[in-house]
Amino acid sequence: MARLGFPEGFLWGAATAAHQVEGQNLNSDWWEFEHAEQTPCVEPSGDACDSWHRWPADMDLVSSLGLGAYRFSVEWSRIEPEEGEWSSATLEHYRQMCAGCHERAVVPVVTFNHFTIPRWLARRGGWEAPGAADAFARFCERTVSHIGDLVGWGCTINEPNIVSFMGYRFGIFPPAVADEGRSRKVSITLCNAHRMAVNALRSGPGDFPVGLTLSMADYQGAPGGEETLEAIRREAEDVFLEATEGDDFVGVQTYTRMRVGPDGPLRPEPGVARTQMGYEFWPQAIEATVRRATEMTGGLPVLVTENGIGTDDDAQRIEFVSGALEGVRRCIDDGIAVLGYFYWSLLDNFEWVLGYGPTFGLVEVDRHSFERRPKPSASWLGSVSRANGPEV
Ligand code: BGC
């Protein structure tokens, strides 16, 4: 066995998102969506992992495992519960979280929007509301003025492509619109919101790298599928990658590959194992997407802000991450600036419409007592972090 060394200073971390772990996120569009009569959600988020109260325990886990960074999100609907009404107590809560990271020598990587928006904005039309991008920029400005000096890295919008496609094209996330034209416009709005947010985050205290995080797949053309692939990928990824011009980094988030034939995406290939999400088990995907993100952004540094697997077989999780890290290392060997790797997720948490079914966590969470039970993969990734690279 040999140790696959990573560059000095490489960030090893785990990620979560406010709505998926905090619990009782009542004032968000998702909460309302989960409780709507026709909701596609299999269950509501409820108390989630109760991380609103238990974040110190989560952070203790991150640091005791040996990870050096924690990616979490701040919740807009709590910070600005009604338009223009700001909650100082909530801002202070997130400031304490950033400080809590520093106390534990953990780098806080803060996401300013992870899928949820406040109900007041949803009522006005969500990302289609006039002034939505400005409202988001104002929120970023206000929040960063309170926590900016403690932020390690700033991510503006998590997976704007998923927000646009799942929310406005496929009708699976709020506001459940299924309209290509509207989704296209929302994509443009989200790109503008990102650009405005970059300026807002840079205007405040602190001097941290800023970027967006994008959901990317390892697109593979089946014979005759190349043109269709290009057309799909252009709208799903490229328009967003183009919006990163002037950013400090690009966050790559990858779970699987996507094969495309002449008529569109193909079903998983027979013989390839599938995860709880129904995705093909394809750890190699991250290498392809990191390379593509680098190419498309003219060489922006990459942070793998999410990579992971929903599985109840923890050994399969370790196999997945090992395979992924070999690919990341090949990218680094080729001179690509990959600066960190964040596993999704620290905790088993609320997986959006699929509720608590899929288990992505390094740590299991008891649904009643909220007790955290680290899985073997948690100490494994911790030891990878401590040694700055896995054994292969
Ligand atoms: C999202 C997470 C989600 C994960 C697993 C990403 O698309 O950012 O919120 O839980 O994938 O599906």
**pLDDT class of 219 with cuts at 50, 70, 90:** very high
Interior angle at CA 62, CA 58 and CA 66, nearest 5:
160
pLDDT digits (tens, 9 = 90+) for 127-164: 999 999 999 999 999 999 999 999 999 999 999 999 99
Q: Best mutation site among 213, 303, 306, 320 for ligand 1, i.e. most ligand atoms within 8 A of its Cβ? A: 306
Query: Model confidence over 349-389: pLDDT tens digits?
Result: 999 999 999 999 999 999 999 999 999 999 999 999 999 99
Nearest CA to ligand 1 atom 5: 351
Q: Whose CA is closest to atom 7 on ligand 1? A: 215
3-state secondary structure the chain: CCECCCCCCCEEEEECCHHHHCCCCCCEHHHHHHHCCCCCCCCCCCCCCCHHHHHHHHHHHHHHHCCCEEEEECCHHHHCCECCECCHHHHHHHHHHHHHHHHCCCEEEEEEECCCCEHHHHHCCHHHCCCHHHHHHHHHHHHHHHHHHHCCEEEEEECHHHHHHHHHHCCCCCCCCCCHHHHHHHHHHHHHHHHHHHHHHHHCCCCCCEEEEEEEEEEEECCCCHHHHHHHHHHHHHHHHHCCCCCCEEEEEEEEEEEEECCEECCCCCCCCECCCCCECCCCHHHHHHHHHHHHCCCCCEEEEEECCCCCCHHHHHHHHHHHHHHHHHHHHCCCCEEEEEEECCECCCCHHHCCCCCCCCEEECCCCCCEEECHHHHHHHHHHHHCCCEC
The whole-number average pLDDT for the span 183-196 is 98
Separation of alpha carbons 359 and 348, rounded Å:
5
Quote the ligand 1 centre to 1 CA distance (angstroms): 33
Residue 43 CA to ligand 1 centre (angstroms):
17
Confidence of residue 92 (pLDDT cuts 50, 70, 90): very high
> What is the pLDDT, as a whole number, of residue 37?
95
Give the Å distances, CA to CA, from 17 to 112, 124, 126, 127, 374: 10, 24, 19, 19, 18
Of 162, 342, 344, 348, the residue with max ligand 1 atoms within 8 A of its CB, to mutate for a pocket test, comes to: 344
CA 78 – ligand 1 centroid, Å: 21
Q: Whose CA is nearest to atom 9 of ligand 1?
A: 17
Ligand 1 atom nearest the C-alpha of 277 is 12
Cis status of the peptide bond prior to 175, with omega within 30 of 0: yes
**CA 164 – CA 81 distance, rounded (Å):** 23
Whether this model's pTM surpasses 0.75 = yes
Q: Are 58 and 378 in contact (CB under 8 A)?
A: no
CA 324–ligand 1 middle distance (angstroms): 17
Q: What is the Cα gyration radius of the chain?
A: 19
Average pLDDT over the chain, rounded to whole? 98
Could you give the CA distance from residue 113 to residue 146 in angstroms, rounded to a whole number? 16
Q: Which residues line ligand 1 (CB under 6 A)?
A: 17, 20, 158-159, 162, 215, 253, 306, 344, 351, 360
Best residue among 28, 277, 320, 352 to mutate for probing ligand 1, ranked by most atoms within 8 Å of CB: 352
Q: In this model, does residue 392 exceed pLDDT 90? A: no
Q: Is the peptide bond before 63 cis (omega within 30 degrees of 0)?
A: no
pLDDT band with cut points at 50, 70 and 90 for residue 188: very high
Mean pLDDT of 81-107: 98
CA 314–ligand 1 middle distance (angstroms): 18
Distance 342 CA to ligand 1 centre (A): 12
Mean pLDDT across 191-196: 98
CA of 223 to the centre of ligand 1 (A): 30
> In angstroms, rounded to a whole number, what is the distance separating the alpha carbons of residues 375 and 364?
7
pLDDT band at 1 (very low <50, low <70, confident <90, very high): confident
End-to-end CA distance of the chain: 6
Burial of 298 (0-12, 13-18, 19+ CB in 10 A): exposed
- CATH fold of 11-387: TIM Barrel (3.20.20)
